[in-house]
Amino acid sequence: MGNRPTELTELLESVAMQETPAQRVVVVGNGASLPPLPEGVTGVQLPENLGVAGGRNAALTRLEQFGDVDVIVDLDDDGLLISKDVFTCLADSYERDERLGIVSFRICDEHGHTQRRHVPRLRAADPMHGGLVTTFLGGGHALSARMLKETGGWPDAFFFTHEETDLAWRALDAGWKVLYEPGLVLQHPWTSPTRHAVFHRMVARNRVWLAKRHLPALLVPAYLGAWTLLTLARTRSWSGLRAWFGGFAEGVRVACPPRRPMRWATVWRMTRLGRPPVL
């Protein structure tokens, strides 16, 4: 969580109203002071901001101590569950498919609009088009505990940006499924990722780390070349471009988490799902 106690309270109320109750609820104060929490909610206070990935790992560590969790749901502290059957639908989905690893929610604002960047597929014009995908949305999603035991948790070093894709690629390579389910909605304020001062640097650095860590060697230059061209075409700010290329250089120069290249069978699977790992 950040410094949004009012929004956090509303989120926890929406969690409490679910028809299928959560077994455990954990709130991480990621370098921010925890406000008073409702009875039954566990707080984890971190003295410094460990980033999105580090904060989620802290929550996972606390949940592991309980030992009785099958599915983990991550929610942004300024999000809101507007339906009471979200956890029920998730439980049904995981019960039907034992290889379901990740379920991505649809993110929409208070008017029901979904930003294009919040649709985890290349053809993003219709946010109501669900199905199997190759990445997912960090703001609202569910993770199989069995999958996490096999793939490991979040990449701490990423801090934020692309940590979801890192986890999704590991899950796909281990034979798990990633599902985008637009019927599961997290209401979230309309935001721009560039509001974070380090956004461009982190995006570029972590993009390089993704390639170095997970792609077969032949695909690394294709992936990074494609994203360099896309960035040049899309970025309108010279300061943003300078930060992006600085982050790119940092990603090349600085060692990333251990390299575990995906199998070519996974590359083909991702291609059949509509997103080969060069875009």
Model pLDDT for residues 39-78, shown as the tens digit of each residue: 999 999 999 999 999 999 999 999 988 888 999 999 999 9
Question: Residue 196 has what pLDDT?
Answer: 60
234-262 confidence digits (pLDDT tens) = 998 899 999 999 999 999 999 988 999 99
Q: What percent of the chain has pLDDT over 90?
A: 89
Q: Smallest Cα–Cα separation from 183: which of 92, 108, 105, 257?
A: 105
Gap between the Cα atoms of 209 and 252, Å rounded: 8
Residues 236 and 120 in one domain: no
**Does residue 193 carry a pLDDT above 80?**
no
| Strand locations in the chain (E) | 25-30, 41-46, 71-75, 80-81, 100-108, 131-132, 140-144, 177-187
From the number of C-beta atoms within 10 Å of its C-beta (0-12, 13-18, 19+), residue 68 rates as exposed
Would 278 be classed as within a structural domain? no
Gap between the Cα atoms of 139 and 179, Å rounded: 15
Residues 121 and 13 in one domain: yes
Domain extent, residue 249, equals 197-262
Query: Which CATH number do you get for residue 186?
Result: 3.90.550.10
The domain boundary residue, chosen from 191, 216, 247: 191
Angle, CA of 184, 76 and 51, to the nearest 5°: 135
Residues 172 and 202 in one domain: no
Residues 144 and 254 in one domain: no
Domain count for the chain: 2
120-165 confidence digits (pLDDT tens) = 998 888 999 999 999 999 999 999 999 999 999 999 999 999 999 9
Query: What is the pTM (predicted TM-score) of this model?
Result: 0.95
Residues 229 and 146 in one domain: no
**Does residue 101 carry a pLDDT above 60?**
yes
Tokens of 16: 């409490």
Gap between the Cα atoms of 20 and 184, Å rounded: 14
